[in-house]
Amino acid sequence: MRPLPAPSRIRLIFLRGLVWGLIGLIYAPLFLGLLAIFRDLGLGHAAFVPAAALASAAGATLYGARQVALAGTAIGLTVASLVLLTSPEVLGLWGAVGLAVLVGAALGWWVDFPERCSLQVPAKAVAGLTAGALCGGVLALAESLHPFEFRAASTLAFLVSVAGVLYVATVTWWVRRATAGGNRYCDLIEIAVVALLAGLGSGGLWLGAAPLMGLGESGLSATMANLEAELPLAMVGGVLGGAVAGVLLEAFGFRWVHD
């Protein structure tokens, strides 16, 4: 294959950096919300592992599932909006998430989407989950050796860049393992993906909107106050980390991840 001219190469590097910067922008609030929840549950430093794993899995699923992912996210945002407007004190965060999961599963079972899911979707999710868990484990170990908590901006810059590179480097291996068995479980996969993203979308909207609406006190209120203060810089860190990851991936010739 003939190498690209220098101007085309530079445009591709810039484009991939921009794409991954946007991924970091979306990743940041989801990770911080999950980290706040798991720390509130008493996991301490270990909260990095499930938070980074779930955020990376959700990002990989959203990136790879297309209409299925968009539908799941839209369902979650719609359910959370309706709950916040009608009965937020009755259902609360977990009620909104649970309701979104149920609605997402029901619609995922009932609706056949134009672009059917494939075993590549869960394979991409597992690749993201694994990469996120590994990076989260590194952060948990490193933070436990220091007398202070890591700042959100530097944490997001590390996670988006390193987990992103690990994901791109390993996703092909996971896809090959999954597709060896065919597409026998496509319907179940579609239901699971829609339900998962609906729950994450509902929880993310709730965590962002509840403090602004002045809802009653909850076990997460103190943690969420810190989240609101750190979110702007965290998003900057996510964007910078994503941009660096995209530039490096293109500069070193990693393939773009497509079906």
Q: What is the pLDDT of residues 82-97, one digit of tens each?
A: 888 887 777 777 788 8
The rounded distance, in Å, linking the Cα atoms of 197 and 189 is: 12
The rounded distance, in Å, linking the Cα atoms of 9 and 204 is: 37
Task: Map out the domains of the chain as residue ranges.
Answer: 11-214+226-251
For residues 204 and 231, the answer to whether their CB atoms sit within 8 Å is no
> What does each of the 259 residues of the chain score in pLDDT, given as a tens digit?
445 555 576 777 777 777 777 777 777 777 887 887 888 788 888 889 998 888 888 778 776 666 676 777 788 888 888 888 887 777 777 788 888 899 888 887 787 665 555 557 777 888 888 899 999 999 899 888 877 777 777 888 888 888 888 888 888 888 777 665 555 566 777 777 788 778 877 876 776 666 666 665 455 555 555 666 676 777 777 778 878 877 877 777 776 665 4
Contacts of 81 (CB under 8 A, 6+ apart): 205
Tokens representing 138 are: 């590194």
For residues 64 and 100, the answer to whether their CB atoms sit within 8 Å is no
Q: What is the pLDDT of residues 156-205, one digit of tens each?
A: 888 888 888 888 888 888 877 766 555 556 677 777 778 877 887 787 67
Residue 82 CB-density burial (10 A; 0-12 exposed, 13-18 middle, 19+ buried):
middle
For residues 33 and 54, the answer to whether their CB atoms sit within 8 Å is no
The rounded distance, in Å, linking the Cα atoms of 208 and 222 is: 14
